């Protein structure tokens, strides 16, 4: 199914995922035994054994297609957007990948669905593929009612303000072609919190990228309302109006340049990924 020379870069942001990360890496390996891929772990300063477990997996499983970026988190609240952007930017600059993936480390995103998103880009010619929780055939399991309701309300609000072309703005299980990642890396994004999911998608829609959503099984992982940060919710509530205005009014739109959070502090990358020339 792979095109000659095609290569997938999978970004996994982590923060204290010692209980899940090895299972995820093993799941990815089992799901993609015949494909060229690289897993880029972007760790935001885990206090548990996450990094050591990844290092041990690289050593014991001879996983030369796994690397770790350790960065210093400099802001309060979730900085998942910054972590993902860091991994995408690094992969864009240091690999020849044709497709890029972002997925969570807590096993809420099933590795078994990786091939669906990859085939959507390679075979169907879409620029973006999203594992959507809100399609016929999708399932959400083990997620508290409060979180389901909040997600529904948030997505309905974003769809009303930005565009109804997308059903699920909040799921961070996404697949991009190289053109999209080039666009994301080249524009001045404003948000490093989870609302970046909406900002990045609005940027790509503004440039008429073709988006496809496919049904997914989303597995909740103890994500009660108590785990939400009021700071993140407040930021998202304000940011969505800014993003909608920039999407609909081109004079306020997305400008090229370095993102506001581009000066991320990377303390270590291991093993080092050598730059490669991209060729399709």
Query: CB–CB of 11/42 below 8 Å?
Result: yes
Query: CB–CB of 244/205 below 8 Å?
Result: no
Contacts of 228 (CB under 8 A, 6+ apart): 150
- Among 274, 272, 276, CA closest to 69: 272
Q: What is the pLDDT along the chain (280 residues), one digit of tens a residue?
A: 445 447 999 999 999 999 999 999 999 999 999 999 999 999 998 999 999 999 999 999 988 999 999 987 666 567 788 899 999 999 999 999 999 999 999 999 999 999 999 999 999 999 999 999 999 999 999 998 888 998 899 999 999 999 999 999 999 999 999 999 999 999 988 988 889 999 999 999 999 999 999 999 999 976 544 445 666 777 788 999 999 999 999 777 898 887 755 555 555 577 755 445 444 4
- List the chain domain ranges: 8-251
Q: Give the HSE-up count for residue 157: Cα atoms under 13 Å, Cβ half-sphere.
A: 16
Distance CA 235, CA 232 (A): 5
Question: What is residue 192's predicted lDDT score, i.e. its pLDDT?
Answer: 85
Length of the chain: 280
Distance CA 99, CA 53 (A): 26
Residues 8-251, CATH architecture: Alpha-Beta Complex (3.90)
Query: CB–CB of 43/69 below 8 Å?
Result: yes
Q: Name the phi and psi angles at 231, rounded to 5.
A: -60, -45
pTM as predicted: 0.90
- Among 104, 240, 95, CA closest to 174: 104
């Amino acid at each position: 199914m792979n095109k000659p020379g095609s290569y997938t870069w999978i970004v996994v942001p982590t923060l204290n995922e010692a209980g899940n990360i090895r299972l995820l890496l093993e799941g990815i390996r089992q799901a993609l035994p015949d494909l060229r891929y690289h897993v880029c772990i972007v760790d935001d300063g885990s206090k548990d054994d996450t990094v050591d477990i990844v290092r041990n997996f690289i050593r014991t499983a001879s996983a030369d297609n796994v690397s770790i970026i350790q960065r210093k988190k400099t802001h309060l609240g979730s900085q998942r957007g910054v972590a993902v952007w860091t991994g995408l930017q690094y992969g864009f600059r240091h690999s020849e990948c044709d497709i890029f993936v972002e997925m969570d480390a807590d096993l809420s995103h099933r590795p078994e669905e990786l091939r669906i998103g990859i085939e959507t880009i390679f075979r169907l010619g879409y620029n973006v593929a999203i594992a959507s929780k809100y399609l016929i055939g999708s399932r959400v399991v083990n997620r508290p009612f409060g979180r389901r309701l909040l997600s529904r309300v948030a997505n309905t609000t974003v769809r009303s303000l930005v565009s109804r072309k997308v059903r699920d703005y909040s799921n961070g299980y996404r697949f991009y072609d190289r053109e999209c990642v080039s666009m994301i890396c080249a524009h001045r994004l404003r948000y490093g919190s989870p609302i970046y999911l909406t900002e990045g998608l609005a940027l790509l829609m503004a440039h008429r990228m073709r988006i496809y959503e496919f049904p997914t099984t989303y597995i909740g992982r103890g994500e009660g309302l108590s785990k939400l940060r009021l700071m993140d919710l407040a930021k998202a509530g304000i940011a969505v109006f800014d993003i909608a205005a920039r999407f609909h009014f081109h004079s306020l739109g997305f400008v090229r340049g370095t993102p506001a959070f581009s000066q991320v502090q990377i303390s270590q990358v291991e093993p080092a990924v050598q730059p490669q020339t991209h060729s399709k």
